Amino acid sequence: MLQLNNITKRFADGSRTLTVLDHLTLQVAEGEFIAITGESGAGKTTLLSILGTLLQPDGGDYVIRGRKIAADNLEELRNKEIGMVYQDHRLLPQFTVLQNILLPTLATKAAATDDEQQRAQELMQFMGISSLCNSSVATLSGGEKTRVAICRALINRPALLLADEPTGQLDAANAQTIAELFQKVNRELRTTIVMVTHSDEMARVAQKVYNLCSGRLVV
Amino acid sequence: MNSLLFRQTLISQSRRFYWRYYRLVVLATILMMAVLAGSLLLGDSVRGTLMQRVTERLGSTETLIASGTGFLDEGIMKHQQLATAKGCLLVDGFVSDNGRLLPVYVWGMDADSLSYGDALVNEPLRQQLGDVQDIVLHLPSHNLVPSGSLFVTQSYATQMRLHIAGQKSVEQGGNLLLKNEQTLPLNVFVNRQQLAEVMELEGKINLILSDEVISEDQLAAIWTPELSGIQLADSSLTYDGIFIPQEVVQKVLHDAGSAGTSLYFSYLVNDIICHTDTVPYSFVTAVTEWQGEPLTGRDILLSDYAADRLHVGEGDSVRMSYFFARDLKNLDTREQTFRVKHVIPLEAFMRDTLLMAEFPGLSNVERCADWDSDLPIRMDRVHKADEEFWYSYRQTPKAVVAYDAVCDDWAGTFGSATAMRFAPSPLSPSAGSSPTHQRLNSLSFGDLGILLVHPREQGLQAASSGVDFASLFLALGFFIILSAILLMATPLQEMFTRRRNECLLYTQLGFRQRDVRNLLFRESIGVMLLASPFGVLAGVLYSGVTLWLLGNVWSGATHTEGFTLHIHPLTLIAGWVVGVLICLLTLGWTIRRVFRDKGVKEMKGVGKDASSHSLRRVVFAGFLVLTLGLTVANFLVLHSMMLFIVAGLLWTVTWGLFLHLFICQRAGRKQGFSHRQLVWQSVSASLRQHMLAYWTLSLGVFTVFAVGLNRPDFSDAAQFQQATGGYQLYVESRVPIQYDLNNNAVRKKLALTGLPDSTRFLHFLRHAQDEASCLNLNKVSTPTVLGVDLKAMEAFGLSVPKQDKTVAPSPSARDLKPSPAKLYLDEESLLWSLMKSVGDTLTYQDGRGAEVPVVIGGSYPTGIFHGSAIMAVDDFRRLWPKEGGVEVLLLESSNPDEAADLLSTALSEYGLTIQTAEQRIRMFFEVTETYLIIFLTLGGLGLLLGIFSLVVIVRKNLTAQRPTIRQYRAMGFSESRIRQLLLHENLLVPLYAVSAGAVGAVISISANVAGAGRTTILVSVVGFLLFCLFIYYGIKQIIKQTI
C-alpha cells in the first residue's frame, strides 16, 4: 500500500538544525491498521504530515500504491486517496455536520453530487450520527466531532486514513468507542489506517504498533 | 436531499458566519467609494457649474465686437449682418448705497422696456441693494476725447439718477459678463440713449453682441473708417476723438504718401511772448505745410492779430511757452523760440477749419472765463482783449508753427495729429470709393483698436480646463481613502489569520491552494461588490454635501453662490471601477500576505528568515540617512517648503521602520525575563496589527498637524512686510485717475492737502483681463496686467534683471524693432492658475487688437498683487498706450486711517475701494486657509477612521488574549497587574505613532516656523496632549470593558 524508504526530515531552529526523521523506513500493506506511538516531539505529527503529503521530506522516497510521490498533483492524491482525522477535529464552525462531511467533494468541482450526499448519509449512519445531519458543529460533543471528522475523511473513499491523536481530547469511554469505530472502518470498509497516538489503549486496536524513537520506527 | 452543497453555499455561509469582520469591510468600502466617486462628481459638478455660468453670462452671444478705447457709430447696427445683434454702451460704474460702494457694470441697451430714468438690475445687485428703489449711478465722464489727454474737462465723473424698474433674470441675460470668472457680476441695464447723452457719446456704442459667429472677414466687410469716427472729406481727414491715432496716421502716410499730405496738430499754448508783450492762452496749430509751402525749423506764421498785440513783424523772434505732460499729467512748462516767417491775416486761418480742433470744455463755451479745462489755467491772466478775441474767433489759431518743432512735445499716446489734409489725388475715383477712401485701403478695424472675440469658445475652454476639483478633492480626501483601505485590510487580515486552520484543512482535503485563495477571494469580493453601489450612492451624498459646504461654510475657497450637482453616469461608473480595483488590490494583497506567512510557518517548517531582518536594517539605515540628509540640506541650503513636507513624511516612515526593527529586536532577546519583555513579546505576537495602527495614526497625525501648523497666522503683521511691500492701503479706483497723487499741486487740486506729509502713493496702470488669483476657478490664459515702475517692486521681493529696469528705448527705436514685453507674476498664480514657468510666453491683444507675445520674466512671492501680472510701465504703455489712467494705488502713510478717510471723501466721484493691505492679503489667504480647513476636516475624518481602526485592533487583540488573561489570573496575577500589562502593550505603539507623526509635522513646517505663529503652535501642542490623553483613556476604557 505505502512504503517509506530512508525518509529524512530536518528543521532549522535559529543556527541549529534538528533532525526529526532520520532515514526512516516503513511499509504498510493494503487494509492494514497500524499505530505509531512515541514521546512528545519525537516527530509523529511530522511523519503523519509526510504521509499526508502536507510536508515534503528532505530525503528518501515515499511510494503509495506503487506510485512514487512527487511534488505535483499532490492535491488530487490527497483528495482521492488520503483521508485525515485530527485531534482538534478541524471542523468548520460556519457549516452544518453534513456540509462539513461533504467539504472534500468540493475540492475539484462546484457542487456535491447526489451520490456523494447519499454516501455522506450512509457514513453518518455508519458512525451513528444521522440525527446530527443539519446540526451546527459548534453544538456537538467531542466524540461527535471526531465521528464527523472521520466521516469527512472517508467521504471520497480514500485508500488510506491518517489519524493524528484522534482521541486526544476524549474521555476514556468515548476514546474506546472511537477506537472501535476505527476498527470497524478498517474491517468493513477495508481502509488502510495509520494512526498516531499517545494512548496505549488506542494503539492496541491496531494490527501493528510502531514506536518512533530518534527519528526511526521500531516495532 | 435538497440541500446540495455548492461552493457558492460554502462562500455565502462563510460570509454570514464571519459577518462581524465583513461589516467593517462594508463600512470601509462604502467610505472609500464615497470619497472616490464623490470627488469625481465634485469635479464634474464644478466644471458643469462653470460651464453653465458661461451660458448664463453670455446668453446666446457668439460674437463680441468691442471698440477698444474708442467708440463705434451706432449706424453699424444697420448692416444686414448685424440685424439680430445688439449694440451696447458698456461702462464701469459704481453705486453708492449707505456708505457702501458697489462696483457695477453699466449696460446701455436698446430695449423697449427701458425708458429714460429707469434701470433694470440683475439678481445679485438686487440682493445687495435690498429694498432700495432709486439709485445714483456714478460713471466715468467719458466723451470722445480720451481722458488721459491734456485737453479734457476737469470733471472725470458723472452721475445718473435712476429708478429701479425691475429685475433682469438670468434667462434674460441679467448676469451678462465678458470676463471668464465664476463670480456673479453686479449689472445695471439702462436706456442706451440716456447713457450716451449723460456721457456725451450720442450715437456711439462700444460693444456689439451677436448671436451669430462673425468672422474677421465678415467684420472687415462691414467696417468702414467712418464707423470708428474717422471723418473723411474730399481732401481731409479728422477724427471724432480729436487726436488721430498714430496707427491711422502712419497707415495713411504710407498709403497716400507723405508728399502732399499735411499733418495738423492743434494745441493750447500758455503764452506767445515777445519782449514784454504777451498773449496768454492761445490756440496754436502745428502743420507740416501751409498752402503748399513746407513749414520747417523754427518758422512761425503769426496771425496779424497776434503780431499787432506783440508788436512784431516778419523776421522777428517770438517765444512760445506751453505745457508738456509727462506721465500722469505731471506738467512741465517748455518754451521755444520761433522766427516769424509771415504775418497772416486771421481770416485766412479762420477759413481753414482743419486748423481748429473742437476741444470739449474749451471750444464750446462763450467766454474764456467759462473754460472747463483740466489744465491749470490762470484766469487772472486772461484780459478783456482775450475775451473779445474768443467771442469773435473762438479757437481760431493765433499762430501756426512747424510740425516738426513741436510734435515730440505735443503728440502723445493718443494721437499724433488732429487733422490731415491731402493734395488732390492723381487717382480716378472707382465705383463707391473716393480717392480719399482709396488712401485708407490698408486701414483695418484692428488699427482703431476694435476687437473681435468669440467668447463662448473661450469661456467654455476656460471653464472646462479650470481648477480640477476632482483631483483636488481626491488629494484632500486621500487620507480618508488611505484610512478606509487600512480599515478594510485590518479586519480582512484578522479574519484570514484566524482562518488559517481552515485554509490548511482545505489544503489537507485536497483543495489546491489556488482554489482556497479563490474561495476566500470570492467570499470577500462579494461583500465588497455588494457594498460598492452603496458607496457610490454615498459618493453622491458626499459630493452634494461638499458642494453645499463650498457654497456656504467653505465659500471662502470659491467665492461663488454655490455649485449645482451634476451627476454623470460615466463618472459614477469610473468611480465604481476605480473603487472596485482598489478593493481587489487590497484583498489580493491581504490574501497574499496571509498565504505567504502560512507557507513560511506551517508548510515549510522553517523559522523566521534572518535575512529579512538584515534587509529591514539596511532599509531603515537608508531611510535614516536620506531623511537626515534631506532635512539638513534643505534647512541649510535649499529652503524648499515642498521638500520640508517630504522630509517630514520621510521622518514618519523612518520612525515606522525603526519601530518594526525595535519590536523584533526586543521580542527576540534571550536574556532575562521581565514584565517589559512580556509586553514586547505580546506586541511582537501581533506585530502586523500594531504596525497597521502605527501607519494609520502616524500618517493621520502628520497630515492633520502639518496642515494645521501651515495655516497662516495673522497675529503678527510684520511677517507680511514683503507681501505688502510695506504699504498699508490698497486702493482700487472705478474711474481711472489721471493724476500723480504724489504731486503737491495735484493734491491741492484734489483737496488732498490734508494727507499726512509722509503719505506716499505707488501708482499702477491696469489692463483689465481675467483674474488669475485663487479666487477664479476658470483657466486663465491672460491675467490682468498692472503697469508700474519695476524698481518699486523690489520691496515686494521681485528681483528684476538690470536690463529690465532701464528705461524703455525711444519711441522711434521702439517702433522699429520692439523686443517682447516682459511681465512678472506671483509664484502661486504662475504655478497654479497659469501653470506656466518663467521664460514662457503669454499672448495678449495689444491696444490695436493685434496678438503680441509677452514673456514671463520672473516671479515674486505671493502677496498683495496675487492674481495680477506686473509689467514695466514703459512696456505697458507700448502695448496699451491709451490705458493711461491709474486704477490701482498703494498708499504708505504715518496715519493710514486718516489718509483713507480723506481719500474716500476727496475722490468720492472716482469710486475708490480702499482696503488695508492686510485685509487684501487675508482675502487671498482666506482661500488657502479654507482649503487647509477642508484638508484638515477631511484629514480629521481620516484620523477618526484611523482611531476607529485602532479601536478594532485593540479590541481584537484583547479578545484574542482572553486565554492568556485567564492564564495570568490562574497564575495569580492581580487584576491591576494584568490591566497594566495590557495597557502597556496596547498603548506603546499608538503613543509612539502620534509622537512620530507630530515630529514629522514639525519638521514639515521648518521652512516657515516663524509663519506658524504662537497661537497655532500653542493650539497644536494642546491638541497633541489632548490627543495623547484621549488615546490613553480610550484604550484604558476598552481594556476595562473587554476583560
Residues pairing with B402 in the sheet: B287
Kindly report, residue by residue over B999-1027, the tens digit of the pLDDT: 888 888 776 665 556 677 777 788 888 88
In this predicted structure, what is the pLDDT of residue A151?
Answer: 93
Most B CBs within 10 Å, among A20, A75, A136, A161, to test the B interface: A75
Q: Provide the residue count of chain B.
A: 1043
Least CB-CB distance to B1: which of A82, A106, A117? Answer: A117
**Closest residue of chain A to B6, computed from CA coordinates:** A111
Per-residue confidence at B722, pLDDT binned at 50, 70, 90?
low
Q: Which one of A211-215, B311-315, B547-551, B642-646 scores highest in mean pLDDT?
A: B311-315
Do the beta carbons of residue B492 and residue B95 sit within 8 Å?
A: no
Whole-Å CA distances, A6 to A17, A54, A55, B18, B80: 18, 18, 15, 45, 108
In this predicted structure, what is the pLDDT of residue B523?
Answer: 93
Distance of residue B486 Cα from the nearest chain A Cα, in angstroms: 26
The β-bridge relationship of strands B134-140 and B230-232 is unpaired
Which of B204-213, B571-580, B672-681 comes out lowest in average pLDDT? B672-681
Rounded-to-integer distance, Cα B983 and Cα B995, Å: 18
Question: Is B721 part of the contact surface with chain A (CB cutoff 8 Å)?
Answer: no
Specify the pTM: 0.74
Residues pairing with A8 in the sheet: A59
In this predicted structure, what is the pLDDT of residue A109?
Answer: 78
C-alpha A130 chain-centroid distance = 22
Q: Is the pLDDT of residue B822 over 60?
A: yes
Do the beta carbons of residue B786 and residue B772 sit within 8 Å?
A: no
Kindly report, residue by residue over B332-354, the tens digit of the pLDDT: 899 999 999 999 999 999 998 88
Q: What is the mean pLDDT of residues B585-608?
A: 64
* CB count in 10 Å sphere of residue A141: 11
Whole-Å CA distances, B284 to B166, B242, B404, B769, B946: 52, 15, 14, 40, 84
Q: How many CA atoms lie within 13 A of A51 on its CB side?
A: 33
In this predicted structure, what is the pLDDT of residue B41?
Answer: 93
Q: Which residues of chain A neighbour B607 with C-beta distances below 8 Å? A: 11-14
B311-332 burial: b if 16+ Cβ within 10 Å, else e: ebeeebebebbbbbbeebbebe
Amino acid at B747: R
Contacts of B955 (CB under 8 A, 6+ apart): B1038, B1042
Q: Is the pLDDT of residue B415 over 90?
A: no
Per-residue confidence at B125, pLDDT binned at 50, 70, 90?
very high
Rounded-to-integer distance, Cα B787 and Cα B895, Å: 27
% pLDDT > 70, chain A: 100
Q: What is the mean pLDDT of residues A180-209?
A: 89
501648523: which residue's cell?
B709
Rounded-to-integer distance, Cα B870 and Cα B772, Å: 12
Q: Is the pLDDT of residue B674 over 70?
A: no
Cell of B482: 488611505
Contacts of A134 (CB under 8 A, 6+ apart): A96, A97, A98, B3
In this predicted structure, what is the pLDDT of residue B389?
Answer: 93
Question: Is B718 part of the contact surface with chain A (CB cutoff 8 Å)?
Answer: no
Task: Decide: helix, strand or coil at residue B613.
Answer: helix
Q: Which residues of chain B neighbour A80 with C-beta distances below 8 Å? A: 510
Cell of A69: 510521490
Q: Is the pLDDT of residue B783 over 80?
A: yes
Helix axes B975-1004, B675-685, angle to 10 degrees: 70
Residues pairing with B87 in the sheet: B208
Q: What is the mean pLDDT of residues B116-141?
A: 90
Q: What backbone torsions phi and psi does residue B1007 show, to the nearest 5 degrees?
A: -65, -25
Q: Which residues of chain A neighbour B7 with C-beta distances below 8 Å? A: 106, 110-111
489506517: which residue's cell?
A193
Q: Which one of B259-268, B309-318, B634-643 scores highest in mean pLDDT?
A: B309-318
CATH number at residue A23: 3.40.50.300
Rounded-to-integer distance, Cα A42 and Cα B528, Å: 46
Rounded-to-integer distance, Cα B912 and Cα A9, Å: 93
Rounded-to-integer distance, Cα B784 and Cα B867, Å: 8
Kindly report, residue by residue over A5-31, the tens digit of the pLDDT: 999 999 887 678 888 999 999 999 999
Which of A158-172, B76-90, B585-599, B896-910 comes out lowest in average pLDDT? B585-599
In this predicted structure, what is the pLDDT of residue B602?
Answer: 42
In this predicted structure, what is the pLDDT of residue B605?
Answer: 38
Do the beta carbons of residue A136 and residue A96 sit within 8 Å?
A: yes
**Closest residue of chain A to B15, computed from CA coordinates:** A94
Do the beta carbons of residue B225 and residue B440 sit within 8 Å?
A: yes
Tell me what the pLDDT averaged over chain A comes to.
Answer: 88
In this predicted structure, what is the pLDDT of residue B696?
Answer: 82
Whole-Å CA distances, B1001 to B437, B1004, B1012, B1026: 74, 5, 12, 17
In what side-by-side order are the strands of the sheet with B851-860?
A: B841-845, B851-860, B821-826, B869-872, B785-788, B760-767, B886-892, B729-737, B912-916
Scanning B759-778 for CB atoms below 8 A from A yields: none
Q: Which residues of chain A neighbour B18 with C-beta distances below 8 Å? A: 94
Cell of B21: 469582520
Per-residue confidence at B670, pLDDT binned at 50, 70, 90?
low
* CB count in 10 Å sphere of residue B426: 7
Q: Is the pLDDT of residue B813 over 60?
A: no
% pLDDT > 70, chain B: 90
Q: Provide the residue count of chain A.
A: 219
What DSSP string describes B866-932?
A: TTSEEEEHHHHHHH-TT--SEEEEEEE-SSHHHHHHHHHHHTGGG-EEEEEHHHHHHHHHHHHHHHH
Which one is predicted more confidently, B732 or B673? B732
Task: Decide: helix, strand or coil at residue B27.
Answer: helix
Kindly report, residue by residue over B880-891, the tens digit of the pLDDT: 887 878 999 999
Instruction: Mark yes or no for CB contact A95/B13 under 8 Å.
Output: yes
Cell of B341: 516767417
Contacts of A208 (CB under 8 A, 6+ apart): A32, A33, A34, A35, A219
Task: Decide: helix, strand or coil at residue B112.
Answer: coil
Q: What is the mean pLDDT of residues B599-620?
A: 59
Exposed, middle or buried by CB within 10 Å (0-12, 13-18, 19+), for B799? exposed
The β-bridge relationship of strands A33-38 and A59-64 is unpaired
Tell me what the pLDDT averaged over chain B comes to.
Answer: 83
In this predicted structure, what is the pLDDT of residue B107?
Answer: 93
In this predicted structure, what is the pLDDT of residue B469?
Answer: 83
Q: Which one of B452-461, B468-477, B596-605, B960-969 scores highest in mean pLDDT?
A: B452-461
Q: Is the pLDDT of residue B717 over 80?
A: no
**Residues in chain A whose Cβ is within 8 Å of chain B:** 11-14, 46, 52, 54-55, 75-80, 82, 84, 90, 92-95, 98-99, 102-108, 110-112, 114, 117-118, 121, 134, 152, 156
Comparing CA positions, the residue from B310, B52, B66 lying closest to residue B182 is: B52
Rounded-to-integer distance, Cα B300 and Cα B939, Å: 81
Most B CBs within 10 Å, among A45, A47, A58, A92, to test the B interface: A92
Do the beta carbons of residue B859 and residue B825 sit within 8 Å?
A: yes
Provide the domain limits for residue A38.
Answer: 2-218
Question: Is B508 part of the contact surface with chain A (CB cutoff 8 Å)?
Answer: yes
Question: Is B16 part of the contact surface with chain A (CB cutoff 8 Å)?
Answer: yes
Q: What backbone torsions phi and psi does residue A132 show, to the nearest 5 degrees?
A: -95, 5
Rounded-to-integer distance, Cα B457 and Cα B447, Å: 24
Distance of residue B609 Cα from the nearest chain A Cα, in angstroms: 9
Count up the domains in chain A and report the number.
1
Rounded-to-integer distance, Cα B960 and Cα B962, Å: 6
C-alpha B400 chain-centroid distance = 52
